[in-house]
Amino acid sequence: MNVDTLIKVKDKIDTACKTFKKVHKSNYAKFNTLDEWLEKESLLFDNETKSTKTTYKKYERGQIVKVDFGINIGSELCYTHFAIIVTKNDSIYSDILTVVPITSKNGNNRLNLGKLLHKMLPNSIKYNLTCYANLTQITTISKERIFLSTKKFICNDTILDHLDSQILLLFTKGI
């Protein structure tokens, strides 16, 4: 890169930093932890530039993981949530998964999972409530976003079949 290009890049990064600081100081609750997320994201990017990793942990379809979705734009899902892996055939060579986030809030296009998380974490009062698969927030994530996983809890076929049928209804023309 020549000097002029480096200056333009630095100016863009400086402008972005100023904007992030302004947004963080706003009274918009979603951005209260923006500084923490940006620091974490920058470290993830830094690790990516240093990594020579060619294999990754393999996950099972139906496995429940805890994911840091970060801070996103508009109504896109933010913060940490449990999620159900819907990727059919994960591989140690893939660094991405498709997941359906789990939320405690009922609403349109949300599949009632009962007290699924309480079954997984029976000693936690926090998760002794009805939870829902947030079908409209199905997304593909980097495996680097996962910070808690256990093979101890995988959704049963009944839940996965119901999840599949609801995803088909919501995102395809159907028959």
Q: How confident is the model over 115-125, as pLDDT tens digits?
A: 998 888 887 77
Please say if the pLDDT value at position 1 is more than 80. no
pLDDT at 29: 93
Which domain, by its residues, includes 32? 3-50
- E-assigned strands of the chain? 63-68, 80-85, 96-103, 110-112, 132-134, 139-142, 146-154
In a domain, 55, yes or no: no
Please say if the pLDDT value at position 6 is more than 70. no
CA 18 to chain centre: 26
pLDDT at 121: 81
Measured CA to CA, the distance from residue 133 to residue 82 in angstroms comes to 10
Please say if the pLDDT value at position 140 is more than 80. yes
In a domain, 58, yes or no: no
Q: How confident is the model over 40-90, as pLDDT tens digits?
A: 999 999 988 998 888 999 999 999 999 999 999 999 999 999 999 999 999
Q: Please report, rounded to a whole number, the percentage of residues in the chain having pLDDT higher than 70.
A: 95
Q: Are residues 104 and 152 both part of a single domain?
A: yes
* CATH number, residue 123: 2.30.30.110
* Parallel/antiparallel/unpaired status of strands 96-103 and 110-112: unpaired
The mean per-residue pLDDT over the stretch 137-147 comes to 95
Measured CA to CA, the distance from residue 141 to residue 52 in angstroms comes to 19
Structure tokens at 3: 């000097």
pLDDT at 95: 95
Show Cβ contacts of residue 89 under 8 Å, excluding neighbours closer than 6 positions.
Answer: 61
CA 102 to chain centre: 10
Please say if the pLDDT value at position 4 is more than 80. no
Residue 147: how many other CB atoms lie within 10 Å: 10
Structure confidence at residue 175 as a pLDDT band (50, 70, 90): low
Q: Are residues 137 and 162 both part of a single domain?
A: yes
Classify 163 as helix, strand or coil: helix
Number of structural domains the chain divides into: 2
Q: Are residues 151 and 87 both part of a single domain?
A: yes
In a domain, 56, yes or no: no
The mean per-residue pLDDT over the stretch 131-146 comes to 96
In a domain, 57, yes or no: no
